[in-house]
Amino acid sequence: MIPLPLATLNQYISAERTNRFKAAKIKHNATNIAKMFTVKAIREGVTFRWGVPLRFDWYCADKRSDPDNIAFQHKFVFDGMMAAGFLENDNWAHIVELNDRFFIDKKRPRVEVYEIGE
């Protein structure tokens, strides 16, 4: 479980167009948040078998962003997982399928990541 928002695609693009350093800061901050919560999950005993499909359950505060804009945040989640040592690489050998589902939770926006059994 990682709290949202990290940054939607539109927010990231806007930051890049304004100032590339602003976009780099967004990426750095979002990756660090994902890393922090990944470390917490590791301490709680969470493990994944990489090379299996993954499901992302996105719980958003509202419907202001389109689902594809929200799912852009995969990048930050995977980078955080790698920074935490949970994921070796976010390449084709490890990430073979992504399934996204979208929900509303005004009180606790977050993303939950699950491996899907074979």
Domain annotation covers residue 110: no
Domain annotation covers residue 117: no
- Whether residue 99 is predicted with pLDDT greater than 70 in this model: the reply is yes
**How far, in Å, CA of 80 to CA of 1, rounded?**
12
- Which pLDDT score, from 0 to 100, does residue 57 have? 97
List, in sequence order, every residue forming a beta bridge with 58; answer none if it has no partner.
102, 111
What does pLDDT average to over the chain? 93
Q: What are phi and psi of 37, to 5 degrees?
A: -75, -25
Domain annotation covers residue 58: yes
Domain annotation covers residue 113: no
Domain annotation covers residue 118: no
User: pTM of the entire structure?
Assistant: 0.91
The secondary structure of 47-108 as a DSSP string is: ---TTS-EEEEEEESSSSS-HHHHHTTHHHHHHHHHHTTS-S--STTT---EEEEEEE-SS-
Question: Structural domain of residue 91, as residue ranges?
Answer: 2-42+52-105
Number of domains in the chain: 1
- Which pLDDT score, from 0 to 100, does residue 118 have? 52
Domain annotation covers residue 62: yes
**CATH number of the domain within which 14 lies:** 3.30.1330
- Which pLDDT score, from 0 to 100, does residue 109 have? 95
The pair of three-digit structure tokens given for residue 10, joined into one six-digit string: 């539109």
- Contacts of residues 74-77 at CB distance under 8 Å and 24 or more positions apart, as own/partner, are 74/98, 75/27, 76/6, 76/7, 76/27, 76/30, 76/31, 76/33, 76/34, 77/2, 77/6, 77/34, 77/111, 77/113
Domain annotation covers residue 112: no
Q: What is the pLDDT of residues 2-57, one digit of tens each?
A: 888 888 899 999 999 998 799 999 999 999 999 999 999 999 999 999 998 999 99
Domain annotation covers residue 115: no
